[in-house]
Amino acid sequence: MHIKNHTLGASYCRQSRTHGGVGIFVHNSLSYITINVNKTDNDYDFKACAIKLLLSTNIYHILCIYSPPAGNFTTLLLHFQSALTQLHSNTKNLIIYGDINVNYLQDSRNKSLLNSLLVSFNLHIAVSFPTKISSKSSTIIDNIFIDESKNPDYSIIPVLNGLSDHDAQIILLRNTDLPIQQRQNISKRTFNKTTTAQFKTNLSYESWSNVFNDGDLDSSFNSFLNTYLRIYYFI
């Protein structure tokens, strides 16, 4: 997959079975460092990738995770806790997103266990609307987890993208400034037979009287050069 003006900053694809993978695409204007969070041979129950995003006002650790519906939830929590321990920091902002296949519209043991783990790292769920809707059910199994003390002003927007049976989510963080891109104007000149011929024609139309009538050699040369460059730059 290629996304215009974006780079695949981090990714992980399942090695032992088909299907299942995660990825983080970063806009080309942003600086980042890839972080290795896959320190286990078990790539069925827990798949993850992470980056350190370097902004002008803050440093973000962003973690993307996926766990299949039939995965071992205990194993998931162990690997998830290990990744959180690696990424959590009082000086950095941690944002987690992905599909853990825990439905937040229903109370369950898995939901309670996951919440307990998240709260221990001061993380809270941010998505409160269904993310997978069918004719038979509605669930919140795709979520974003953030530290609300570091992100006091945020909003979540659902996006119907038509690419999956899961809807997408966009989080807007209003306490973050992105680096300002410096615009640079570049002028280009085309050299070919047509432009060269036009340049010669324009030179031939000049009378050069100001050059020949000037008695001073330096002034005569400056007059010639000014005329020459005027024609050169405006062909």
Q: Are strands 59-66 and 93-99 parallel, antiparallel or unpaired?
A: parallel
Q: Which domains does the chain have, with CATH numbers?
A: 6-173 (3.60.10.10), 193-233 (no CATH)
Residue labelled with tokens 């047509």: 194
Q: How far is CA 198 from CA 122, 136, 170, 207, in A?
A: 71, 72, 54, 17
Average pLDDT over residues 41-68: 87
CA distance 109 to 40: 25
Average pLDDT of the residues of the chain: 86
- Residue 181's pLDDT band (cuts 50, 70, 90): low
pLDDT band for position 121 (cuts 50, 70, 90): very high
What pLDDT does residue 120 have? Answer: 95
37-41, 76-80, 89-93: least confidently modelled range:
37-41
What pLDDT, in 10s, does the model give residues 20-38? 789 999 999 899 999 999 7
Q: Which whole-number Å values give the CA distances from 214 to 60, 207, 221, 223, in the listed order?
A: 69, 13, 9, 9
